Amino acid sequence: MTKIIIIGAAGKMGGRIVANACQDREVKVVGGTEPTGSSAIGKDLGVLAGGSPLQALVVDDLRKIIAQGDAIIDFTVAAATLPVLEIAAQAKRAAVVGTTGHSEAEKQEIRKLSKKIPIVMAPNMSLGVNVMWKLISEAAKILGEDFPVAVTETHHIHKKDAPSGTALKMMEVLGEALGKMRDEIPCESLREGEEVGDHIATFTGAGEILTVRHQAKSRDTFALGAVRAAKWVVGKPAGLYDMFDVLGL
């Protein structure tokens, strides 16, 4: 049984992680956090997620409940990641980070902390997205310069970072396949309505177009990946892992 603590437990992603974790017999939600002053403090996570009580409460300080968990899941904001991981490292607890938008300096600090604890960090935890990264890499290698590629990504109007972490990873794998820098891959970012996530790689050749597209229809796809990552990472040696490691891709 993997015991998990959810950072930002009352948010949209936090609620879906709770709901999906409750359907997994190998997982137990033992608590969650929200910033001081949140109306969710002291409330039961199961009730907040629209289900039955779990006897797991929301607190305003991770240190109050860190000893109860095996792994921490964070899908909040980039500024919160390092404080969370520092507490996890002190307590020798594993972590899963699905937050994006970190600066290079923050990523460097995360790499340092991964020398103390196992961390799964990925810009997207969807199985389909991770397979997409593999597919577009292979397509770029085969098609080469004869099929110039461009990335388009669309998210909800509340998303702060652009391009999205998923799109940046697409640009990275395409760049590696083509021998280019990531920034040399064209990318258009759109913010519309409540779009969960739509990512497209378009290869344009002479008289033909190849499109590889992933559309997320629900936040559950990310929540399920996060729960799977949490089960996988507990007991692993200290290090920085991604969903390729979790899924064995």
* Catalytic residue list: 155, 159
Give percent helix, percent strand, percent coil of the chain, each to the nearest 5: 40, 25, 35
Taking the C-alpha atoms of residue 7 and residue 75, their distance in angstroms, rounded to an integer, is 7
| Residue 4 CB-half CA count within 13 A | 34
Phi-psi region of 82 (alpha: psi -120 to 50; beta: other; left: phi over 0): alpha
Return the residue matching tokens 């998990």.
4
Taking the C-alpha atoms of residue 124 and residue 118, their distance in angstroms, rounded to an integer, is 18
